[in-house]
C-alpha cells in the first residue's frame, strides 16, 4: 500500500467523527479532537474526536437499547455475523496492518501477524457462539431437578491498550457478542484509528446498530467513570497496565460490577543446561522482540544456566546486533519505534539505573540516522544483580537483560519473586522443562516455544497480572452469567 493510498484509507475512516454510535460516526459533543502521532517521525497523522462523559452516555444508551434484541438473536445468527467479520478482516488485513504500523509504529510483519491473530478471534468465537452448553441434574436429596444454563451478562464496557490495537479489541468484542451482549469500547488514545477500522468491519459484517459502540478520548478516566457509575453496565473488561487495572477495580467495587482484567507482565525466559541453544535463541527472538518488546507476554528477564551461558550469549549478541531498526511501514524493518516519548524515556531510565548498579551492555543494534522518532536500540545487557531494575520492572521495549543461574532453587526464587504472573518460557529437555513449568507462578508457560498467544487457548495471568481468561472456551464464559432453575419433581 503506498502512502497516498494509506492516507486515503485513514481519511475514509472519518477520524473527526470517531465517536461510533449506532453504526455511524459522529464528532464529540464538545467538538474536541486530539492528534494521533506517527512514532517513527513524531509527526501528526490526523485529528480524532475526543469523547466526553456525554458521548460515553450516548454510547451506553445505544448499547442498552440494542442489548435485548441482540441477546434474542439465535446463537447461529450471531455466529454467522462473527464469521463474516473474520472473512472481512482477513480481506482487509493489509490495509489494517499498514494502519497499525503507522499509528503504533510496529514493524509491518508484526502488524500483518496481528491482523490475522485479531481476525481469528471472530472465527473462534463464531464457533463458540453455538456451543454454549448447560446441565440437567438430579440433586443428592432427590425431590427436584436442577437445570443450569448461561445467559449474557449484559452491557459490557471494554477498555483496550495500544500495543495490540486490533487484537486486544477483537479478543473482547468477539466473545462478548457471541454470548449475546452489546458493548461500549474505549480504545487507547495512541491507536484509535485501528479501532475505528474494526467498527467499519463489524458494521459491514451485519452487526446491528448499537451492539458495538466506540468512544475514543484523551480523557480516559471520564469515560471509564461514566460507564462504571451507570447501573446498565454489568461487566468491565480491561487490558492494560496493573495500576490502571487497580483503579478500575476500585471503580467497579461500589456496584459490584463483574471484572475481567488482563494486566501487566514480567515474563521470565529460562534456558536450562539441557536446552537446544539454537532453538532457544529462535524462541527468544520472538518472545523478546516481537512487537519491539511491547507485549505483555514479552520475555523480560532471561535466566541462563551457567553451562550454556557463554554459547547462548555470544549467539544472541550476534543476532541482536544485526536487527534492522526503522519505521514500521518500511518493509525491511524488524524493530519499529516504541509508541511515544514517555515510553522511550522510561525504557532509557531503566537501562541507566541498571548500568549504575553494575550491569554491562554486551551488544546493540544500530538506530536509523534519518528518522527523528521514538527509537530504542535493541540491546543485550548482562545483569549481575537479581534485584536490578531491569529484572524487577516491565521493560516494554527491546532491551534483553540476561542473568546467570546455577541451581534450580535459586532460579525459582528469582522467577517467582515478582508480583506479576502472566507468561514465562522454559527451554530444556521436555521432562525437566515441564517439571519446572509446573512450579512457575504464571498463567501461561511456553515450553520450548517463544509464543503463547493463541485464540484457542486461555490467555491470562495470576497474581497482579490479572483476573479471568480470554480466548478459548473460557473466553466466552467471562461474558456469561450462570442461571439455574430448581424444578419441583
Ligand atoms: P494503560 O493501562 O496505560 O492503558 C490501557 C487503556 O486504559 C488505554 O485505553 C488507556 O487510554 C486507558 N486508561 C489509561 N488511564 C486510564 C484511567 N485512569 N482510567 C481509565 N482508563 C485509562 O496501558 P498501556 O500503556 O496502553 O498498555 C501497556 C500495558 O498493558 C502493559 O502493562 C502491558 O503488560 C499491558 N497489557 C496486558 C495484556 C494482557 O493481556 N495481560 C495485553 C496487552 C497489554
Atom of ligand 1 nearest to the CA of 164: 43
Residue 461 counted as domain residue: no
- Ligand 1 centroid to Cα of residue 221, in Å, is 12
Atom of ligand 1 nearest to the CA of 296: 34
Atom of ligand 1 nearest to the CA of 459: 40
- Ligand 1 centroid to Cα of residue 389, in Å, is 21
Protein residue with its CA nearest to atom 23 in ligand 1: 240
- Among all chains, which residue has been given the C-alpha cell 474494526? 198
Protein residue with its CA nearest to atom 10 in ligand 1: 188
DSSP string, 396-450: -SSEEEEEEE-SHHHHHHHHH-SSEESEEEEES-HHHHHHHHHHS-SSEEEES-S
CA–CA distance, 166 with 170 (Å, rounded to integer):
6
Q: What integer is the mean pLDDT of 271-299? A: 98
- In a shared domain, residues 444 and 305: yes
Atom of ligand 1 nearest to the CA of 224: 20
- In a shared domain, residues 100 and 138: yes
- In a shared domain, residues 53 and 168: yes
- In a shared domain, residues 248 and 349: no
120 burial level (CB within 10 Å; 0-12, 13-18, 19+): buried
In tens, the pLDDT along 88-137 reads 999 999 999 999 999 999 999 999 999 999 999 999 999 999 998 899 99
- Ligand 1 centroid to Cα of residue 428, in Å, is 33
CA–CA distance, 214 with 185 (Å, rounded to integer):
5
Ligand 1, pocket residues at CB < 6 Å: 159-164, 168, 186, 188-189, 220-221, 224, 239-241, 244, 247, 262-265, 296, 394, 422, 461, 466
- In a shared domain, residues 188 and 321: no
pLDDT of the residue at 457: 98
Residue 341 counted as domain residue: yes
Of 110, 158, 161, 457, the one to substitute when testing ligand 1's pocket (max ligand atoms within 8 A of C-beta) is: 161
Atom of ligand 1 nearest to the CA of 217: 11
Residue 148 counted as domain residue: yes
- Ligand 1 centroid to Cα of residue 131, in Å, is 31
| Cβ 347 vs Cβ 397: under 8 Å | yes
Instruction: Name every residue whose Cβ is closer than 8 Å to that of residue 27 and which is 6 or more positions away in sequence.
Output: 16, 17, 19, 49
Protein residue with its CA nearest to atom 21 in ligand 1: 220
CA–CA distance, 181 with 249 (Å, rounded to integer):
21
Protein residue with its CA nearest to atom 26 in ligand 1: 161
CA–CA distance, 453 with 445 (Å, rounded to integer):
10
Q: What integer is the mean pLDDT of 137-146? A: 97
In tens, the pLDDT along 222-255 reads 999 999 999 999 999 999 999 999 999 999 999 9
CA–CA distance, 207 with 183 (Å, rounded to integer):
12
Pairing state between β 183-186 and 155-159: parallel
- Ligand 1 centroid to Cα of residue 223, in Å, is 14
Is the sign of the CA dihedral 371, 16, 121, 83 positive or negative?
negative
Residue 227 counted as domain residue: yes
Indicate the pLDDT class of residue 87, thresholds 50, 70 and 90. Answer: very high
- In a shared domain, residues 222 and 364: no
- Residues designated as active site: 262, 296
Protein residue with its CA nearest to atom 19 in ligand 1: 221
- Ligand 1 centroid to Cα of residue 104, in Å, is 14
CA–CA distance, 277 with 428 (Å, rounded to integer):
9
The domain tally of the chain equals 2
Residue 414 counted as domain residue: yes
Other C-beta atoms lying within 10 Å of the C-beta of residue 230: 18
pLDDT of the residue at 215: 98
CATH number of the domain that 387 lies in?
Answer: 3.40.309.10
- In a shared domain, residues 155 and 124: yes
- In a shared domain, residues 256 and 388: no
CA–CA distance, 131 with 256 (Å, rounded to integer):
28
- Ligand 1 centroid to Cα of residue 314, in Å, is 35
3-class DSSP state for residue 175?
Answer: helix
Task: Please count the CA atoms within 13 angstroms of the CA of 45 that sit on its side-chain side.
Answer: 30
In tens, the pLDDT along 35-64 reads 999 999 999 999 999 999 999 999 999 999
- In a shared domain, residues 47 and 144: yes
pLDDT of the residue at 133: 85
Name the residue range of residue 383's domain: 267-454
What percent of the chain stands above pLDDT 70? 100
Could you tell me what percentage of the chain is helix, strand and coil, using 3-state DSSP and rounding each to the nearest 5? 40, 25, 35
pLDDT of the residue at 132: 82
- In a shared domain, residues 385 and 420: yes
Q: What is the mean pLDDT of the chain?
A: 98
- Among all chains, which residue has been given the C-alpha cell 523478546? 288
Of 36, 53, 241, the one to substitute when testing ligand 1's pocket (max ligand atoms within 8 A of C-beta) is: 241
| Cβ 446 vs Cβ 452: under 8 Å | yes
- In a shared domain, residues 376 and 247: no
Amino acid at each position: 500500500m503506498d502512502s497516498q493510498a494509506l492516507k486515503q484509507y485513514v481519511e475514509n475512516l472519518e477520524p473527526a467523527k470517531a465517536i461510533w454510535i449506532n453504526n455511524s460516526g459522529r464528532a464529540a459533543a464538545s467538538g474536541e479532537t486530539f492528534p494521533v502521532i506517527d512514532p517513527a517521525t513524531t509527526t501528526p497523522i490526523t485529528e480524532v474526536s475526543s469523547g466526553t462523559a456525554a458521548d460515553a452516555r450516548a454510547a451506553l444508551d445505544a448499547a442498552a437499547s440494542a442489548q435485548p434484541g441482540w441477546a434474542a438473536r439465535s446463537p447461529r445468527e450471531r455466529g454467522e455475523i462473527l464469521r463474516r467479520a473474520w472473512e472481512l478482516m482477513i480481506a482487509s488485513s493489509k490495509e489494517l496492518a499498514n494502519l497499525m504500523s503507522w499509528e503504533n509504529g510496529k514493524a509491518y510483519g508484526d502488524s500483518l501477524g496481528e491482523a490475522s491473530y485479531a481476525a481469528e478471534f471472530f472465527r473462534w468465537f463464531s464457533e463458540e457462539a453455538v456451543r454454549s452448553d448447560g446441565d440437567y441434574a438430579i440433586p443428592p436429596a432427590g425431590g427436584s431437578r436442577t437445570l443450569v444454563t448461561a445467559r449474557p451478562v449484559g452491557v459490557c464496557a471494554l477498555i483496550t491498550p495500544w500495543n495490540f490495537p486490533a487484537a486486544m479489541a477483537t479478543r473482547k468484542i468477539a466473545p462478548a457478542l457471541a454470548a449475546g451482549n452489546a458493548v461500549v469500547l474505549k480504545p487507547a488514545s495512541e491507536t484509535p484509528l485501528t479501532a475505528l477500522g474494526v467498527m467499519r468491519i463489524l458494521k459491514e459484517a451485519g452487526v446491528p446498530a448499537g451492539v458495538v459502540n466506540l468512544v475514543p478520548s484523551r480523557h480516559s478516566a471520564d469515560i471509564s467513570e461514566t460507564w462504571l457509575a451507570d447501573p446498565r453496565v454489568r461487566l468491565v473488561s480491561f487490558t492494560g497496565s496493573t495500576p490502571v487495572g487497580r483503579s478500575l477495580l476500585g471503580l467497579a467495587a461500589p456496584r459490584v460490577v463483574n471484572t475481567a482484567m488482563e494486566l501487566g507482565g514480567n515474563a521470565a525466559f529460562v534456558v536450562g543446561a539441557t536446552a537446544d541453544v539454537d532453538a532457544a535463541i529462535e524462541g527468544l527472538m520472538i518472545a523478546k522482540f516481537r512487537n519491539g518488546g511491547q507485549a505483555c507476554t514479552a520475555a523480560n528477564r532471561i535466566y541462563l544456566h551457567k553451562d550454556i551461558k557463554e554459547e547462548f550469549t555470544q549467539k544472541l549478541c550476534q543476532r541482536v546486533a544485526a536487527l534492522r531498526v526503522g519505521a514500521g511501514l518500511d518493509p525491511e524493518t524488524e524493530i519499529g519505534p516504541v509508541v511515544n516519548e514517555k515510553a522511550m524515556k522510561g525504557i532509557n531510565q531503566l537501562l541507566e539505573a541498571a548500568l549504575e548498579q553494575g550491569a554491562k551492555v554486551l551488544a546493540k543494534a544500530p538506530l536509523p540516522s534519518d528518522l527523528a522518532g521514538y527509537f530504542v536500540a535493541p540491546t543485550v545487557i548482562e545483569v549481575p544483580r537479581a534485584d536490578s531494575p531491569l529484572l524487577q520492572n516491565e521493560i516494554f521495549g527491546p532491551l534483553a537483560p540476561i542473568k546467570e543461574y546455577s541451581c534450580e532453587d535459586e532460579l525459582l526464587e528469582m522467577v517467582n519473586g515478582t508480583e506479576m504472573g502472566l507468561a514465562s518460557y522454559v527451554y530444556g529437555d521436555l521432562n525437566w522443562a515441564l517439571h519446572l513449568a509446573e512450579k512457575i507462578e504464571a498463567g501461561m508457560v511456553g515450553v520450548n516455544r517463544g509464543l503463547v498467544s493463541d485464540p484457542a487457548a486461555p490467555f491470562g495471568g495470576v497474581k497482579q497480572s490479572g483476573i479471568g481468561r480470554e480466548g478459548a472456551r473460557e473466553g466466552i464464559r467471562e461474558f456469561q452469567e450462570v442461571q439455574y432453575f430448581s424444578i419441583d419433581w
